[in-house]
Amino acid sequence: GHGVTWFLVSILASFIKVNGKEFRKKILTEDWHSRLHSAHPERWRNRAGEMPTPFSVITAEEVRIGLWQYQGSSEMQQKMLEYLVANEATANRHRIWPPHCIKGTWGQLIYEPLMASCLQWGVRNNTSPLHFRKGGAEIPEHYGAFYAEVKDSTDISTMENWDLLNELEELDEIVIAGLARDICVARTAEQLIELSEVGVSEFRVAEKLVFLSDCTAAVDEANGESFFFRMRELGARVCTSQELFA
């Protein structure tokens, strides 16, 4: 919720103010969703005309038998079904989320305390933070910063973001914070390890990663801790913002 986000952002903003000089780059990834994104309730109706509840799951089989209908043209309905099938083939499920990060609204903006800290860092270092948007396509989920959960070759926004990867690969250490630890943060780290330079082992890439535990939060705490465990196993570091430069 907003309370948790504000709390985490205030910690991260203070950390950047104090320790900004330690960083060469600031990279902000931003969700950029349509209100009618397929993961928002408004895109779906059941046989009674009701929308799904947030955090529920819609499966390809439920769509096939008519329990849920995607709101759109017959062509878009077929495309949605094909997406669900492809998504489930990778052991993913299509989860419904509360509408969030809607294009053109305040909810899509970087929280003001964090943005202010990043801009101040930019002025002091005669540079600007970098921004990368994700999730602009209406059907696929786009949890990780590098590509959508199911890529669409006709929509470049769903494909691999090599520009972001190039910005990161030259760095010796990558400090990661944000929401949600078990979803977007996790998928971003997993995709980074996967896409990194051919010939570099996943352990070598993971060893660059540092996760600020007090500047992230999970939707499911057990999944969040499981993610941190996997990253530690690969050589990543998990610490609080106070511990990083102690």
pLDDT digits (tens, 9 = 90+) for 16-44: 999 999 999 999 999 999 999 999 999 99
Write the CA distances from 16 to 117, 211, 237, integer angstroms. Answer: 6, 14, 19
Give me the phi and psi of 87, to 5 degrees please.
Answer: -65, -45
**213: enclosing H helix or E strand:** strand 209-217
pLDDT digits (tens, 9 = 90+) for 54-73: 999 999 999 999 999 999 99
At residue 4, the pLDDT reads: 79
C-alpha triplet 37, 38, 42: angle, nearest 5°:
75
pLDDT digits (tens, 9 = 90+) for 148-191: 999 999 999 999 999 999 999 889 999 999 999 999 999 999 99
The neighbour count for residue 226, using CB atoms within 10 Å, is 14
Percent of the chain with pLDDT over 90: 92
The single residue listed with the structure tokens 């990661």 is 176
Give dist(CA 103, CA 106) in Å, integer: 9
Give dist(CA 105, CA 112) in Å, integer: 14
Query: Is residue 28 within 8 Å of residue 52, measured between CB atoms?
Result: no
**224: enclosing H helix or E strand:** helix 221-233
The crossing angle, in degrees rounded to 10, of helices 162-169 and 186-195 is: 80
